[in-house]
A and B are shown apart, each in its own frame.
Chain A
C-alpha cells in the first residue's frame, strides 16, 4: 500500500464515517433521553433510502402503509390509556399528535406518488414521511416498559429490529435500490479525486452535529432533553414530561437517520435489511463515545469508517469480522472507564 492508496482509503473512510456519525449521534441522543439502545436505527436509515428510491421511480413507497399502520396502533393505545385513566379531555390532543400529524406526510406522498417532484421537495417528503416512524414505535413498543432495565429495553429493541426487517421485506420487496446522485462534481486534491458526494456527506455530518449542539445549548427544549437524560425523576419534578422529551429525541434521531439514509444510498445499493449492519457500525462509534459524549461519538464513528475502508482493502471477505471484533476491545475499555451503579441491575 502506498501513500496515495492510503490517502484514498482514508478519504473514503471519512465519507463512510460521516454517515455513521449521523446515525451514531441519534443513538446517543435516544439512549441519553430514554435509556433505549435503539437498534432499529439503521433500519430507519435504510427505509428512508427505499422511500426516496420509490419516489424517484414514481412508485408509492411502502413507508406509507407502515406509517399508517403504526399511527393507527399508537392512537388506539393512546386512547385506550386515556380511557382507562379517565382523562377524556386529552383524547383530541392524542388524535392530533398520534394520528393527524403522522398522516399528513403520508397523505402528501400518497397523492403525489404518480408525479416526479423536484429534488428538494422529494427529499423533504421522504424525510417527513420517515420521521414519525420511530416516535410511533416508541409509543407502541417502548412506552409500556419505559421504566424497565436497560437490558430489557435492549432485548426489546433487538426483537423490534427483526420485526422491522420482516416488515421491510413486506413493504419494500427484496430488490436493492440506489438513489440518484445528489451532486455531480469531483474535486482534485493534488492527484487524489474527492467526489462531491463525499464532500456533501461530510458537510451534512458537520451541519447536523452543529445544529444538534446548538439545540442542546440554546433552546429550552434541548435543555429539557438534557435534564431528562441526567435524571428522569428529577426532570419530572421540574415539570418536564419524559415521554415528550423521548418523542422529541426520537424525532430528531429519525431526522439524522433519514439524512444518513439519503446520503448513503447514492453510493451504495440498499436492501430492506441493509440497515442492521449500517446501524451496528454506527453503534460501534456510539459505544466509543460511551453512549454519552457527542464529540467522542463523532470521532469514534469516523474511526470506524476509516477502519472499515482499510479492512475492506486488505481483506474484503473479513471486513465485517474486523469491524465487529473492534467492538470488544472498545467495550472493555469503556466498561473500565465507566462508573456504573449497582442499582440498575435487575434482581
Chain B
C-alpha cells in the first residue's frame, strides 16, 4: 500500500465517522462514544505496554482521577467543564509523574504489581474521601458546552470524543516516528543497550507513563461529562485489566489496535449482555466476567500478537523509498592522531569474591586500533563494560579525552563519544535496520517529545535518516534498509551494531568480538572497514578471538589473563612473548 492510498483510506474513514450520526441509530452512536472513550485509554496502554513494554493494570484509576477532578470542579464547585479539563489533566499528570517517578525504576513484573497496588489504593481513596460522594458517587455533572451549544445528547458529544481520539492518534503516530518515539520503541528488551546509546531509559519511561496517564485523563473527562455521573466502580482494577485486554487484543504496539480492541471488547460486552441472559437467565452478570476472563486467557495462550498485526501480515508490503540525500548532520571534530585519548589506571572490578578485572592499566592513543585479547574468562568483556560505564569500577581511574569518566553513568560516556557493540548482540529485532541505526544517532539529535508529536522535527529527522542510511551503506547493509533486524544472520547483526555505533559519530569505537560468526570474506570486508575508519581518525578498541584477524589489523595489543594484564605491545612482540604463548597453549612441559 502506498502512502497515497493510505491517505485516501484515512480520509474515507474520517468522512464515514463524521457522517455516522446521519446513518446510525442513537444507540449505535452511544456505543461508538464508549468505544472512543475506551480507545483513548487503550491508546495510552499501546504506547506504554505495546511500545514501551510496561504492563499497567492501573490505567482505570488515572481515568478515575480525571473524572473525579472534573466532577468536583463542575458539579460541586460549579466551574466550567473546560476548567474541569484543565484540573483533570493537571491532577492526573501530577499523580502520574509522582507515581512514575517512584515506581518506574522497578523492573518487569514488579512494576506491574505496583500498578495493582496503587490502582487499588486510588480506588479506595475515591470511595472514602469526604466530599466526593463516597461509594455512591457525584451526580448532576453538567454537560460540556462549546460556546452556547451544550453537548447534551450522545449525538453531540460524539464529535468531541472522536475528534480528541483522532487527534491523539495522529500525534501518537508522529511521535512514534520521531527520535523520542524510537527510543520508546527501544525500551522493550532491557536498558543496557538503550543507555549505551546515550538515551535515559528512565526519562523516556516516565514521559511515556505520563502521556498514557494524560490520554486516560481525556477519557475520564469525556466519560464524566458523557454519563453526567461518576462513582468509584468503573475505575477499579477490573476495568484496568479490561483496558489492558483491549490494547493487547487489538495488537499492542499498533495504534490502530487501541480502537480495534476497544471496539471489539465494547461490542462483545454488549452482545454478551444481550445473549447471556438467554443462555443462563439467572447468572448472566456473573458469567459475563467469567466469559471475558476466559477469552482473555485463551487469547494470551494462543494469539498473543493481536488482531491488527494479523491483518497487517496479510496486506502487501508497503513500498518505502530509502531516505533521500540531504544536508548531513554536523560531525564532531576528531582529536589529533597520536594524542592520548584514554587512560586506564589500575582498573579493578570485583564480583563478590571474584576479581574479574585486577589492577589493569593501559593507554589508548587516538587514531589507533588496539586489541584486547586473552583466553576465555580473562576479563576482557568486563574491562569493556567498566570502560563504557555498563559496570562500575570497584577501584582505579579511567579518563577519556582528559575527563575522568570512572564514575560517569553509561549515558554520559556515550554522549562524550564512546560508542560500543555487545558480545551478545543487542538489537531490536522487530525494528527495521534503518530504525536500529537511527537509534545510534539519538545523542546527535535534539528533537523532543513535543517536536516529534507536532511534526516540528522533520528537517532533523531527514538528516538523521540520511545519516543512518549512509552508515548502513558503509557497512554493506544498504540494500534492504526496511528489513527487520531480527531477520539478519548473526554475523550481519554484529555488523549492524557497528553501523549503529557509527551513527553516533563516535571518537572511540569499542567492539566486542566483531568478527565472531562472520565468514572469511566478510571478515576481510570488516577489516577493510575498520582500516578506513582508522584513516578517518577514529580510534578503535576491540576484543577478538580470531588471531589472524587481529594480527593483520591492529596497531597494538593488550593481553589479559585471569583478570590481570599480561603484557602489551605490537602484534609481533605479543606473538613472540613466551607468557602469551603459555597462556594460550599451556606451558611446554
Confirm or deny: B57 has a beta carbon within 8 angstroms of a beta carbon on chain A.
Answer: yes
* Residues from chain B with Cβ under 8 Å of A317 in the complex: 128
Q: A328 and B116: CB pair below 8 A?
A: no
B238 at the interface (CB under 8 A from A): yes
B257 to chain A, nearest CB (A): 16
A200 within 8 A of B: no
Q: A170-B283, A321-B121 are in contact. Are A37 and B189 (CB under 8 A)?
A: no
Interface string of A47-86 (1 = CB under 8 A from B): 0000000000000000000000000000000000000000
A325-B293 CB under 8 A given contacts A150-B108, A155-B300, A332-B103: no
Q: In the complex the two chains form, is B301's CB within 8 Å of A159's CB?
A: no
Minimum C-beta distance from B184 to chain A (A) = 15
Closest to A342 in B: B190
A158: chain B residues at CB < 8 Å are 57, 116, 237, 241
Residues of A near B288 (CB, < 8 A) are 166
Complex CA gap A150/B106 in Å reads 14
Instruction: Using A159-B300, A346-B188 as known contacts, say yes or no to A170 and B286 having CB atoms under 8 A apart.
Output: yes
A328 touches B118 (CB 8 A): yes
Q: How far is the CA of A149 from the CA of B55 in the complex (A)?
A: 12
Beta-carbon contact of B113 and A156 below 8 Å: no
In contact, B283 and A332 (Cβ under 8 angstroms): no
**B113, A287: Cβ atoms closer than 8 Å:** yes
Which B166-203 residues sit within 8 Å CB-CB of chain A?
188-192
Taking CB atoms, residues of chain B closer than 8 Å to A332 are 102-103, 105-106
- Min CB distance, A170 to chain B, in Å? 5
Whether A331 lies near B113 (C-beta < 8 A) is yes
Q: Given A156-B300, A347-B428, verify A321-B125 contact (CB < 8 Å).
A: yes
Report the minimal beta-carbon distance from A141 to chain B, rounded to whole angstroms: 6
B238–A149 touching, CB < 8 Å: no
Is there a chain A Cβ closer than 8 Å to B124's Cβ?
yes
Which A residues are CB-close (under 8 A) to B191? 342
| A162 lies within 8 A of chain B by Cβ | yes
Q: Does B19 contact A (CB under 8 A)?
A: no
A144 to B297 Cα, complex, angstroms: 11
Is B290 close to A, CB under 8 A? yes
Query: Contact between B128 and A150 (Cβ–Cβ < 8 Å)?
Result: no
From the candidates B109, B128, B290, name the one contacting A154 in the complex (CB within 8 A).
B109
Chain A interface extent, by class: 35 or more
Option from A160, A163, A280 in Cβ contact (under 8 Å) with B120: A280
B403 CB-CB contact with A under 8 Å: no
Given contacts A167-B290, A328-B103, A331-B103, contact A150 B118 (CB under 8 A): no
Taking a contact as CB atoms closer than 8 A, the residue among B57, B117, B128, B286 that contacts A328 in the complex is B117
Measured between C-beta atoms, what is the minimum distance from A302 to chain B in Å?
Answer: 19
Q: B244–A155 contact, CB under 8 A?
A: yes
Q: Mark A87-111, 1 if CB is under 8 A from B, else 0.
A: 0000000000000000000000000
Q: Does A165 contact B (CB under 8 A)?
A: yes
**Complex-state Cα separation, A335 to B202, whole angstroms:** 14
A152 at the interface (CB under 8 A from B): yes
**Which among B113, B190, B248 has the greatest number of chain A C-beta atoms within 10 A?**
B113
Inter-chain contacts of A154 with B (CB < 8 A) = 55, 109, 112-113
The 0/1 profile, CB within 8 Å of A marked 1, for residues 283-310 of chain B is 1011111101110110011101000000
Task: Tell me which of A144, A170, A325, A345 contacts B190 (CB under 8 A).
Answer: A345
A334 contacts chain B at the CB level, 8 A cutoff: yes
Separation in Å of the A286 CB from the closest CB of chain B? 10
Q: Which residues of A contact B109 (CB under 8 A)?
A: 37, 150-151, 154
B110 at the interface (CB under 8 A from A): yes
In contact, A340 and B103 (Cβ under 8 angstroms) = no
Residues of A within 8 A of B300 (CB): 145, 152, 155-156, 159
Q: B128's contact among A145, A321, A327, A336, by CB below 8 Å, is which?
A: A321
Q: Contact: A165 with B114, CB < 8 Å?
A: no
Residues 122-172 (chain A) with a chain B CB within 8 angstroms: 141, 144-145, 149-152, 154-156, 158-160, 162-163, 165-167, 169-170
Which residue of chain B lies nearest to A162 when distances are taken between CB atoms in the complex? B293
Q: Given A159-B293, A331-B114, verify A318-B106 contact (CB < 8 Å).
A: no
- The answer to the question of A184 belonging to the interface, with a C-beta cut-off of 8 Å to chain B, is no
Q: State which of B121, B287, B296 has its C-beta within 8 Å of the C-beta of A170.
A: B287
Closest-CB distance, B51 to chain A (whole angstroms): 13
Residues of A within 8 A of B108 (CB): 149-151, 340, 344-345
User: A335 to B104, alpha carbons, bound, how many Å?
Assistant: 10
Nearest CB on B from A309, distance (A): 17
A320 at interface by CB-CB < 8 Å? yes
Q: Are B110 and A280 in contact (CB under 8 A)?
A: no
Kindly identify, within residues 192 to 215 of chain A, every residue whose CB is under 8 Å from any CB belonging to chain B.
none
Query: Are B124 and A321 in contact, CB atoms less than 8 angstroms apart?
Result: yes
Pairwise interchain contact B429-A347, C-beta atoms closer than 8 A: yes
B320 in contact (CB, < 8 A):
no
Q: Specify which chain B residues have a CB less than 8 angstroms from the CB of A331 in the assembled complex.
A: 103, 106, 110, 113-114, 117
What residues on A are CB-neighbors of B285 within 8 Å? 169
Residues in A with CB closer than 8 Å to B283 are 169-170
CA–CA, A304 and B107, complex, Å: 23
Contact B293 A166 (CB under 8 A): yes
Decide: A345 near B286, CB < 8 A? Known: A37-B113, A321-B128: no
Q: Which of A149, A166, A325 has the most CB of B within 10 A?
A: A166
Distance, CA A280 to CA B119, complexed state (A):
12
Q: Does B53 contact A (CB under 8 A)?
A: yes
Roughly how many angstroms separate A321 CA and B127 CA in the complex, as a whole number? 11
Return chain B residues, CB-CB under 8 Å to A167: 286, 290
Give the distance in Å from the alpha carbon of A37 to the alpha carbon of B290 in the complex: 20
Note all chain A residues with C-beta closer than 8 A to B238. 162
Segment 286-343 of B: residues with Cβ below 8 Å from A = 286-290, 292-294, 296-297, 300-302, 304
Chain A nearest Cβ from B55, distance in angstroms: 5
What is the CA–CA distance of A160 and B298 in the complex, to the nearest angstrom? 11
User: Judging by beta carbons under 8 Å apart, are A324 and B110 in contact?
Assistant: no
In contact, B297 and A327 (Cβ under 8 angstroms): no
- On chain B, the residues within 8 Å of A156 by CB distance are 297, 300-301
CB distance from A69 to the nearest CB of B (A): 11
Residues in B neighbouring A144, C-beta threshold 8 A:
301-302
A334–B114 CA distance with the chains assembled, in angstroms: 12
- Does B407 have its Cβ within 8 Å of any Cβ on chain A? no
Structural contact, A327 and B294, CB atoms closer than 8 A? no
CB distance from A305 to the nearest CB of B (A): 17
**Cβ contact within 8 Å between A166 and B289:** yes
Q: How far is the CA of A122 from the CA of B25 in the complex (A)?
A: 58
Partner among A151, A166, A324 whose Cβ is within 8 Å of the Cβ of B55: A151
Assembly CA distance A327 to B103 (angstroms): 11
Q: Which residues of B contact A (CB under 8 A)?
A: 53, 55, 57, 99, 102-103, 105-110, 112-114, 116-118, 120-121, 124-125, 128, 188-192, 237-238, 241, 244-245, 248, 283, 285-290, 292-294, 296-297, 300-302, 304, 428-430
A150-B109, A327-B117 given; name 16 further pairs at CB < 8 Å.
Answer: A149-B108, A158-B237, A160-B297, A163-B289, A163-B293, A163-B297, A167-B286, A169-B283, A169-B285, A170-B283, A320-B120, A320-B124, A321-B124, A345-B188, A345-B189, A347-B428
Closest 6 CB pairs of A and B: A163-B293, A166-B290, A327-B117, A342-B190, A166-B289, A317-B128
Name A's B-contacting residues (CB within 8 A). Answer: 37, 141, 144-145, 149-152, 154-156, 158-160, 162-163, 165-167, 169-170, 280, 283-284, 287, 317-318, 320-321, 324-325, 327-328, 331-332, 334-336, 338, 340, 342, 344-347
24 pairs, A vs B, C-beta closer than 8 Å? A145-B301, A151-B55, A151-B109, A154-B112, A156-B300, A158-B57, A158-B116, A160-B297, A165-B289, A166-B293, A170-B286, A170-B287, A280-B117, A318-B128, A320-B120, A328-B102, A328-B114, A331-B106, A335-B106, A338-B107, A342-B191, A342-B192, A344-B108, A347-B429
